[in-house]
Amino acid sequence: MADRELTYVEALNEGLREEMRRDDSVIVFGEEVAASGGVYKVTKDLLKEFGPKRVLDTPISEIAIVGAAIGAALNGLRPVAELMFFDFAGIAFDQIVTHASKMRFMSGGQVKLPLVVRTQYSLGRAYGSQHTQFLAASFMQAPGLKIVAPSTPKDAKGLIKSSIRDDDPVLFIESGALYVNRTYYGYKGPVPEEEYLIPIGKAEVKRSGDDISIVAVSRVVSEAMAAAEQLSAYGIKAEVVDLRTIMPMDYQTVLESVKRTNRLIVAEDSVKTCGVSAEVASHVCEYGFDYLEAPIIRLNSPPMPAPQSAELERRYMVTSDKIVEAARRLVV
């Protein structure tokens, strides 16, 4: 496959555009996604190509946006509904968790709900406590809901296409830091010109190693890749596993990695208590305890709201330096 270099935003836009061309039932709506092309330009020029019946601006109401998406999906469309910030998904928690995730089960499979809720969290952009939360763990308690969190342009495009084609509701979480931070591994990268899909529920080993496994999610994959490079200077070969899909989680790839390396760090942006890392660590302890030669280390956001100050926010976040420090403690 021939590759081009695209940004995370460009790859998402291309994925949406391709699916809308392929299937007339795909519609896109949310706050400012049409006329302005989206606050982050992920939906840039979609209105121009597909018109106002398929690309629609909505009122500032997450309840209305997700409720409309459920109704559209039940009536044969494949809506992609955007919530501007992940924090505000809490306003639509009832629609997502109580209704969307359960309808297929409660109907005995008679109805399907092919909808995507796109959203992003802006940790790393000094947006303050109410615009930075990575709340994936809160939605892991909703069986029937799939949760996707891509870390690279290639993954973003392949997974948004797979999510749109899926017959179950998908919560598609993007990283606002990857929209804008040119220094991040996931800001820009190779994307095949030919059409491709990335399956939901499959993790990827982004870097091979045999001394320690670093399982990471979304923005933190960039930090893990940087840490792995730094660790190589100390003679430590770190393996980086990108979950890509949080639910259903690819436990097998994680266990196979830990079996090779015998050590595990789980690094991600949830608050540590009951975060995504807790689920990964618990599963490895339950099913791969004999592989471990050292305690598992979880690196997360601390149990406090994110600070507004950019400098304090950097101290709050999981960074490559924190991963390197943890890895050097484990590999002795």
Is residue 135 within 8 A of residue 86, CB to CB? The reply is: yes
Residue owning tokens 């109401």: 61
32 an active-site residue?
no
* Cα(172)–Cα(166) distance, integer angstroms: 12
Cβ contacts of 225-229, under 8 Å, gap ≥ 24: 225/185, 226/185, 226/320, 227/320, 227/321, 227/323, 227/324, 227/327
Catalytic residue among 19, 82, 131, 239: 131
Dist. CA 9–CA 152, nearest whole Å: 10
Nearest-Å Rg of the Cα atoms of the chain is: 19
Annotated catalytic, 283?
A: no
Name, in order, each residue with C-beta under 8 angstroms of 259's C-beta and a sequence gap of 6 or more: 288, 291
Q: Which of 14, 31, 62, 174 is catalytic?
A: 62
Count of helix runs (H) and strand runs (E) in the chain = 13, 14
What secondary structure letter does DSSP report for 234? T
Known catalytic residues are 62, 131
